[in-house]
Amino acid sequence: MDEICFLPATRLRAALAARELSAREVVRAHLDRIERVNPAVNAVVTLVAERALAEAHEADERAASGVELPPLHGLPVAHKDTHDTAGIRTTYGSPLFADHVPERDELVVARMRAAGAITIGKTNVPEWAAGSHTFNPVFGLTRNPYDLSRSAGGSSGGAAVALACGMHPLADGSDMGGSLRNPASFTNVVGFRPSPGRVPTVPAKLAWSTLSVQGPMARSVEDAALLLSVLAGPDPRSPISLAEPGSSFARPLARDLAGARVAWSPDLGGSVRVDREVRAVVEASAKVFEELGCRVERDCPDFSGADEVFRTLRAWQFGVRFGPLLGTGMVKESIRWNVEEGRRLTGPDLGRAEVLRTELFQRVHEFFTRYDFLVLPVSQVPPFDAGLEYPVEIDGEPMETYLDWMRSAYFVSATGCPALAVPAGFTGAGLPVGVQIVGPHRADFAVLQAGHAFERATGFGERRPVTD
């Protein structure tokens, strides 16, 4: 049955369509896998097994009737616990919402279910998805399956671990400062931060914001593109949603990269401190693109101002979203700090951040007139000690806040460019390390094509953790 659990989503979907497998077999296999493996890693935190099996029965009945089947027919999924699911507990990792059961699915969940996906439960997150290490006072810590003493990253850490361990083939996530990318890097799976508006966020308190996005995770780039084809597409309730239909991501990803212009940097042009083993993986990844026929140069955009842009806009948003919760006394200290930072901001502070962001966008745009892709580290460190809230130093340089070690991801967030985390190697201790492929403004499909070519050339993503 474990063979079913590690089939690519595209192959699993084909087997379901051909009725070589039934949805009940597929769901049952994944539920059995969760029962056996999840206790060690704590990735799936709410399970709705009976409901999932009932939905699988209905899916098999539809298949037997001969109707055209939707793109995710019969595929089991567990949704991120910050994404509202109708009738299923959604806690946001907060003790304030430990028993919260939403009345409606939010858009990403609704689109997946309309496409035939079967909800089996929810995946763990940091409290309010704040920070790239998955632990909270409701469900506790999610552990890295490659080394249970290590962090799984976050905030989509439960989703990433569940994918790596074969608990479901596809996952939805979200990303402000790296929450789709960092956990993918830490667990040897794929996480894609699409362009803002590519996947509309509905409902949203700050609907005009482009800092946080939702997107797909999977064990392969092709599977991530399959899920994106369902998640993407316009929605009139989102003022920034892009008009291109999601079906455009259902096209084949195969592309000859010969002649493509690729820039790479192990440290974002010297602007961030990066662990030496991570740097080595990025350098080796650049050589892979050379072998694919690309014209590769060590180069990087000027990321000046990206730190201030991200931290200012993040703090302002935290103040808006979480300020009312501070009086409860039930919010973790890092969120309290970020809210207080936001409350100290002035109008000129926000104005300066937007000017810097515009200048950053223009510099990056100019950079991508000379290059097609930019290859960077996803995370500045390999998976760190799960007993820490965040890495306290990198090669001797202290990290003063829980955000400092995430700059390699959140500098890219500040640009608005699409970015893919794809498996790229392992440390000497066998810990996964991903590489980040960044593309020009709204060049989402091209980034997926580059990631697909890299993945096919290396095969790193085929390595699975030992979980039994």
Q: Single out the catalytic residue among 80, 94, 241, 379.
A: 80
Residue ranges in 98-253 assigned as alpha helix (H): 107-114, 157-164, 182-187, 221-231
Would residue 212 show up in a list of annotated catalytic residues for this protein?
Answer: no
Would residue 22 show up in a list of annotated catalytic residues for this protein?
Answer: no
Euclidean distance between the first and the last CA atom of the chain, given in angstroms as a whole number: 13
Side-chain-side CA neighbours of 445 within 13 Å: the count stands at: 14
Residues near 64 by Cβ (< 8 Å), separated by ≥ 6? none
Q: Single out the catalytic residue among 151, 155, 185, 334.
A: 155
Q: Which of 287, 340, 288 is nearest to 318 (CA)?
A: 340
Cβ-based neighbour number of residue 263 at 10 Å: 24
Distance, in Å, from the CA atom of 254 to the CA atom of 262, rounded to the nearest integer, reads 18
Q: Single out the catalytic residue among 179, 241, 265, 408.
A: 179
CB 113 within 8 A of CB 69: no
CB 349 within 8 A of CB 312: yes
Distance, in Å, from the CA atom of 13 to the CA atom of 463, rounded to the nearest integer, reads 22
Would residue 179 show up in a list of annotated catalytic residues for this protein?
Answer: yes
Question: Exposure string (b/e) for 332-353, b if CB count within 10 Å is 16 or more?
Answer: bebbeebbebbeeeeeeeeeeb
What is the rounded radius of gyration, in angstroms, for the C-alpha atoms of the chain? 21
How many residues make up the chain in this entry?
468
Q: Chain-centre distance of CA 421, in angstroms?
A: 8
Distance, in Å, from the CA atom of 392 to the CA atom of 400, rounded to the nearest integer, reads 7
CB 124 within 8 A of CB 152: no
Distance, in Å, from the CA atom of 288 to the CA atom of 303, rounded to the nearest integer, reads 25
Query: Any idea which residues carry the catalytic annotation?
Result: 80, 155, 179
